[in-house]
A and B are shown apart, each in its own frame.
Chain A
């Protein structure tokens, strides 16, 4: 039988990874982090629960950071009215969104709504700044990962642009 006292004393020695750490591991922004670093990030992120249909953020709202889906589904769209909504993407477990707000003070480019009962992890700019102050090594790792994510997306956008230009030039010929 497990002794409650000793299990409490050695609670920091537990090697089992929490659901949060397991989810963070899947996110490219936190890839390559050591278990101890993932634990530090776990202590920074905010757990939030949303009801089906509840707004996470509106388009053009001031953005403070990114969200990671622990469970549930999130829909991303541009239109403000529910009946006009044209869903751009449906995200599920392990997906993340809003990461650009970690770097700039700009408004959200799209809206996000919980499609079902959803549990999210929020990682915000003040948390990143605090991490950069206290643990610059870990903060820089996250920033580099963030730069990688954005550069991958930029490459994809460039490819799409090139293809679009090619197809336009074919059509004009």
Chain B
């Protein structure tokens, strides 16, 4: 026990630590992508672990439980992506055909003119008023759309890379799910006797906090997705003419995983599809919400519907499902989001809050350990 206070040993530990940090810095560019895949696999494992443990309780076989849960998840994802791709293809074909027709271009010009007319005079003065110019603007927009559609090959490359990463994450997840409890047991073996019990306590509490947070978030995202789908169907009953309703709902649900920014991101596909589908439809353009508020292409209706869904989620669903599992102050959530977004972009924003939650649990346990340090 007194060996730890030996200055030579401390220098040796410091030296080894510095060499390890240096080595990690050098090899990081080569292993970064694998580490990201492993983080994804670990998060997926944390979400799926309760289902696998539940299955194991029922069928008394770890291997079969992992197989059943993984197959169910893969089937769900394949069905979702498959039907989403076919839906998107149909929408794309229709949209390309619409772009090809002169009436569509006319409608777009008409829309630009109408939008300009509805603006106050001083704003109109600021905008280019020449019809040729607006025509060229529309022309360039349409040209860009065609360009995007022509670059399908690069999209195919991205899809290939996505499939490869997805399969890798799935393989890592299967291994982690099967060996989870053994891996954990092997890892804690390296904790010294003095910190062993407190280490187990720390791991258990972190595991519980992260797992309940992730499951809560997933359930909250599902509820947002479901409520958005119902809301969009209701809007369709009033003539909003929205397609890909289920996928818009799923995207809104997934976007909801990113706090603060997500809800706005979730609205974008619905707004885009509403504009694309209703272009040229005079009734849709002059639509008024409650016969009072102008809502061209049902845009205000859509935004209002998403705001209502968000309010129901924030005030009833999330507090009930996620509760105080992480319990971060809104200010800390914002700081975590900014740091995550700056470091890793949208992915960083997705992981920012769980990571901050882990840090909070570690901090709480660390203060517990510090208070009881004389007892270890």
Contact = CB atoms under 8 A, between A and B. Distances in A.
B375 A60 contact: yes
A65 B197 contact: yes
Interface in B195-237: 196-198, 200-201, 203-204
B193 A50 contact: yes
A103 interface: no
A63 interface: yes
B329 interface: no
B117 to A, nearest CB: 65
A136 B201 contact: no
A55 B197 contact: no
B1 A55 contact: yes
A148 B87 CA distance: 63
Q: How large is the interface on A (under 10, 10 to 19, 20 to 34, 35 or more residues)?
A: 20 to 34
Interface residues of B, number: 25
B375 A136 contact: no
Interface stretch (A6-14, A71-79, A122-130, A161-169): A122-130
Contacts of B56: 134-135
Contact of A62 (B54, B185, B194, B201): B201
Contacts of A63: 197
Interface of A: 43-44, 46-48, 50, 54-58, 60-65, 107, 122, 124-126, 129-130, 133-136
9 contacts: A44-B185, A48-B193, A55-B194, A56-B193, A64-B198, A126-B201, A129-B204, A133-B54, A135-B57
Q: Which 4 pairs between the two chains have the least Cβ-Cβ distance?
A: A61-B375, A126-B204, A64-B197, A134-B53
Interface of B: 1, 50, 53-54, 56-57, 60, 181-182, 185, 188-189, 193-194, 196-198, 200-201, 203-204, 368, 372, 375-376
Given A60-B375, A133-B54, 19 more contacts: A43-B181, A43-B182, A46-B196, A48-B196, A54-B193, A55-B194, A57-B197, A58-B376, A61-B197, A62-B201, A64-B198, A64-B201, A65-B197, A122-B196, A124-B200, A125-B204, A129-B204, A133-B50, A134-B53
